[in-house]
C-alpha cells in the first residue's frame, strides 16, 4: 500500500510543484486553507509548511526539495503556466465540480475564485 504524504505549500501549486508532487507521490495541500480546529486529514507523513496540528500528529517526511527553488515566474499565483489538465486536477482534488469541456480561461477563473473563498475562510 502506498503511503500518503501531504505536502503543504502556500497558495496555488505551480506546474513545477505539481510535477514534483507527482514524481514523488506527494499530495499537495494549501497550508493557508487550514484553521485551528479543522479536521485533520489522514496521512502517513507531512512535509513543507504543514500547520502545527499536522506536525503534532504526523512524522515529517524527509523529502529532497533541492532543484525545486522557484523563480519569480514560478510564484503560486501565476496560474497561466498551468495546463488545463493540471487545473482540472487541482479542482478535482478540492472537490470542485466543473464542466469537462470548459476552456482553460474558465477553469483558471474557477480555480482563482475557489482560492479566494479559501483565503477568506482562512482569514475569518
The total number of structural domains in the chain stands at 1
Per-residue pLDDT tens digits for 57-76: 999 999 888 767 654 444 44
**pLDDT score at 9:** 92
> What is the per-residue pLDDT across 21-52, written as a single tens digit (0 to 9) for each?
998 999 999 998 888 889 999 999 999 999 99
pLDDT for 29:
94
Locus of grid cell 523529502: 63
- pLDDT in the model for residue 118: 78
Which residue, 80, 86, 76, is CA-closest to 115? 76
Model pTM?
Answer: 0.58
Residue 31: which domain range? 5-123
pLDDT higher than threshold 60 for residue 87: yes
Round to whole Å and give the CA distance between 98 and 76: 21
On the question of pLDDT at 80 being above 50, the answer is: no
Residue percentage of the chain with pLDDT more than 90: 31
Angle at 26 between CA 21 and CA 27, to 5 degrees: 100
Amino acid at each position: 500500500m502506498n503511503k500518503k504524504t501531504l505536502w503543504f505549500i502556500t497558495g496555488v501549486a505551480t506546474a513545477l510543484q505539481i510535477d514534483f508532487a507527482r514524481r514523488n507521490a506527494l499530495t499537495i495541500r494549501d497550508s493557508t486553507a487550514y484553521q485551528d480546529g479543522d479536521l485533520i486529514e489522514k496521512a502517513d507523513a507531512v512535509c513543507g509548511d504543514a500547520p502545527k496540528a499536522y506536525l503534532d500528529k504526523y512524522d515529517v517526511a524527509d523529502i529532497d526539495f533541492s532543484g525545486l527553488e522557484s523563480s519569480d515566474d514560478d510564484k503560486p499565483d501565476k496560474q497561466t503556466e498551468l495546463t488545463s489538465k493540471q487545473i482540472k486536477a487541482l479542482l478535482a482534488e478540492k472537490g470542485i465540480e466543473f464542466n469537462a469541456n470548459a476552456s482553460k480561461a474558465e477553469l483558471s477563473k474557477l480555480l482563482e475564485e475557489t482560492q479566494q473563498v479559501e483565503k477568506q475562510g482562512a482569514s475569518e
